[in-house]
């Protein structure tokens, strides 16, 4: 392993690299952890793409996003956050296993070796960046100058590309150490195998603890165990969490007496709150599924958006909608929804939550609630709809 065994003393390089003798810094351990880490990153990548394209669909897709199942986004985003949190533990374990290679001597043996090391450096940087920014995002702490969403999205591609490259370069080693009795692993001393099993069990237990203490933020049957997630599904006004409060959005009860719903289209009109309340309503049980991982089902009632659109002269099934909030400034003040959402009978301008009028923090007087949509697009404090 070390250069000590390779020839006379005077031939040693001037900076002797540290020697690592622990048997768990080996290819079998790296492969066993790498498989789980790769699986976690794959789920994160795919669910992240789902989240991105639901929020920023390319124009050819904008009117054909799926509105069913109603809990689709709840599931994909719950998985995104759960696998992302698990990946933190797996990444730390994997980095510990391979870190002796950082001290490889000589640092560069050939052009190929240099490229391989460079690709690993990119991979590690991208992976650490993704889990770190993702974690800070779920606690809503942004100690950096860039914008989280575009950065997290761009680096996801770098991470995915460098993982694919890494798997391709390491394919022979991965194959040789894939299973406990694969060629490269057979014949290892029994105590080494036992040590490895303990390490893998420990990592598995840590992943289990992290998952069980956070997943209840979305998987509500486990909410009693949700000790570490930043949001608890029951904590908030009307028993539902709030990401952006009315105060933070600059909306106050003051002045809402003058509130009117303004609907712009071929036949524009305005409605007072009393007039809006008098329209036929629909009830729907739909989740708020926050991109930050928490989600809760609730009973909503309100006026179907498609009724409001039709009344403004919008063509049923063909009209997209722009929704504007009373919010003063904020990234989610204006939201657009494609025709498939605008036309869905479950997409509501909601007036009540669990049978009570919306509280100010949940979007009083009226908010959007639509099936299979990211929470950021469930616009609160709506005052204007434009048929597009």
Ligand X SMILES: Nc1nc2c(c(=O)[nH]1)N[C@H]1C(S)=C(S)[C@@H](COP(=O)(O)O)O[C@H]1N2
Measured distance CA(193)–CA(277) in Å, rounded? 68
Give the up-direction half-sphere exposure of residue 101: CA atoms within 13 A in the CB hemisphere.
Answer: 17
Contact status: 327 vs ligand X (CB under 6 A): yes
- In the complex with ligand X, the residue whose CB is nearer, 112 or 283, is 283
CB burial of residue 46 (10 Å; 0-12, 13-18, 19+): middle
3 state SS of 92? helix
378 binds, among ligand X, Mo ion, none (CB under 5 to 8 A by kind): ligand X
Stretch that binds ligand X, among 39-47, 50-58, 85-93, 374-382 (CB under 6 A): 374-382
- Are 250 and 327 within 8 A, CB to CB? yes
- In the complex with ligand X, the residue whose CB is nearer, 162 or 243, is 243
What is the smallest separation between the CB atom of 332 and ligand X, expressed in angstroms?
Answer: 4
Contact status: 29 vs ligand X (CB under 6 A): no
Q: What is the DSSP letter of 258?
A: G
Contact status: 325 vs ligand X (CB under 6 A): yes
Contact status: 351 vs ligand X (CB under 6 A): no
How many chain residues touch Mo ion (CB under 5 A)? 4
What is the smallest separation between the CB atom of 16 and ligand X, expressed in angstroms?
Answer: 54
Binding residue for ligand X, selected from 28, 94, 362, 383, defined by CB under 6 A: 362
Binding letters toward Mo ion, positions 284-303, x by CB under 5 A: ------x-------------
The partner residues of 296 in beta bridges, in order of sequence, read 288
β-strand 260-264 against 382-387: which pairing, if any?
A: parallel
Contact status: 241 vs ligand X (CB under 6 A): yes
Contact status: 363 vs Mo ion (CB under 5 A): no
The partner residues of 384 in beta bridges, in order of sequence, read 262, 324
- In the complex with ligand X, the residue whose CB is nearer, 226 or 327, is 327
Contact status: 379 vs ligand X (CB under 6 A): yes
Binding residue for Mo ion, selected from 185, 243, 347, 378, defined by CB under 5 A: 243
Measured distance CA(140)–CA(154) in Å, rounded? 20
Contact status: 378 vs ligand X (CB under 6 A): yes
- Are 287 and 299 within 8 A, CB to CB? no
Binding residue for ligand X, selected from 174, 240, 246, 351, defined by CB under 6 A: 240
Supply the DSSP string of 220-269, one letter for each residue: GGGGGG--SSS--TT-SGGGS--SS-HHHHT--STTGGG-EEEEESSS-E
Measured distance CA(297)–CA(283) in Å, rounded? 13
45: part of which helix (H) or strand (E)?
Answer: helix 27-55
The CA–CA distances, whole Å, from 154 to 44, 61, 126, 148, 361 equal: 14, 20, 10, 10, 33
- In the complex with Mo ion, the residue whose CB is nearer, 245 or 282, is 245
Overall residue count recorded for the chain in this entry = 388
Binding residue for Mo ion, selected from 156, 375, 377, 379, defined by CB under 5 A: 375
Give the footprint of ligand X on this chain (CB under 6 A): 240-244, 249, 288, 290, 325, 327, 330, 332-333, 362-363, 375-376, 378-381
Residues in contact with Mo ion by CB under 5 A are 243, 290, 375-376
């Amino acid at each position: 392993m070390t250069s000590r065994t390779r020839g006379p003393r005077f031939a040693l390089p001037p900076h002797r690299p540290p020697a690592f003798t622990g048997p768990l810094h080996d290819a079998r351990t790296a492969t066993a952890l790498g498989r789980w880490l790769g699986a976690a990153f794959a789920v994160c990548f795919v669910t992240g793409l789902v989240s991105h394209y639901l929020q920023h669909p390319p124009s050819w897709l904008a009117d054909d996003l799926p509105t069913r199942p109603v809990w689709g986004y709840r599931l994909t985003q719950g998985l995104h956050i759960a696998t992302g949190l698990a990946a933190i533990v797996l990444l730390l374990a994997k980095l510990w296993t391979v870190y002796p290679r950082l001290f490889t001597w000589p640092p560069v043996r050939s052009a190929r070796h240099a490229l391989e090391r460079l690709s690993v450096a990119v991979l590690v940087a991208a992976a650490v960046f993704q889990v770190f920014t993702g974690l800070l995002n779920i606690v809503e702490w942004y100690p950096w100058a860039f914008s989280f969403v575009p950065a997290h999205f761009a680096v996801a591609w770098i991470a995915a590309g460098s993982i694919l490259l890494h798997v391709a370069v390491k394919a022979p080693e991965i194959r040789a150490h894939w299973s406990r009795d694969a060629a490269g692993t057979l014949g290892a001393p029994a105590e080494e195998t036992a040590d490895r099993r303990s390490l893998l069990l420990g990592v598995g237990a840590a992943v289990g603890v992290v998952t069980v203490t956070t997943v209840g933020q979305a998987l509500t049957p486990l909410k009693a165990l949700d000790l570490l997630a930043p949001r608890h599904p029951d904590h908030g006004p009307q028993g539902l969490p709030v990401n952006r409060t009315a105060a933070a959005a600059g909306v106050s009860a003051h002045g809402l007496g003058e509130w009117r719903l303004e609907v712009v289209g071929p036949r524009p009109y305005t409605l007072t709150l009393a007039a809006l309340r008098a329209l036929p309503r629909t009830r729907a049980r739909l989740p708020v599924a926050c991109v930050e991982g928490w989600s809760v089902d609730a009973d909503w009632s309100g006026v179907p958006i498609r009724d409001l659109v039709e009344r403004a002269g919008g063509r049923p099934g063909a009209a997209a909608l722009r929704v504007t909030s009373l919010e003063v400034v904020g990234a989610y003040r204006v939201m657009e929804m494609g025709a498939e959402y605008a036309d869905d009978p479950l997409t509501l301008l909601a007036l009540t939550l669990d049978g009570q009028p919306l509280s100010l923090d949940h979007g009083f007087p009226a908010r959007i609630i639509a099936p299979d949509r990211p929470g950021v697009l469930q616009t609160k404090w709506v005052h204007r709809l434009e048929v597009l």
